[in-house]
Amino acid sequence: MIKVLTDLKKVRLEKGLTQQEVADKTNISISMLAMMENGYRRGSDETKIKLAKFYKKSVESLFFANNYHFKCERNDKSSLNNSNSDKERTDRNE
């Protein structure tokens, strides 16, 4: 499962707002907001812009400030296999 890391929930809680209040004021469904806060949906550009305007933040600071956008919640076996293959090739060439 790949999760999207943002500061949405943190910012909302700092402002003392509920998901329902944000959903009502931004015209974004509460289910979409919850999925975005929990990292299960990214949201469209339009949705990101609505939330950034509502929180008076830039899209970049709200969604990309941590210098990462995705977090892998599982072992990526294909990348493990690729790195092992690279190591085997290097070992053979030495």
Dump pLDDT digits (tens) for 9-36: 999 999 999 999 999 999 999 999 999 9
Q: Where are the beta strands (DSSP E) in 17-90?
A: 70-72
Residue 50, domain extent: 2-93
Please report which helix (H) or strand (E) contains residue 41, including its range: none
| Region 35-53 average pLDDT | 94
State how many domains the chain has.
1
56-68 mean pLDDT? 79
Q: What is the CATH number of the domain that holds 14?
A: 1.10.260.40
Q: What is the pLDDT of residue 4?
A: 62
The reported pTM is: 0.66
Mapped onto helix, strand or coil, the DSSP state of residue 3 is strand
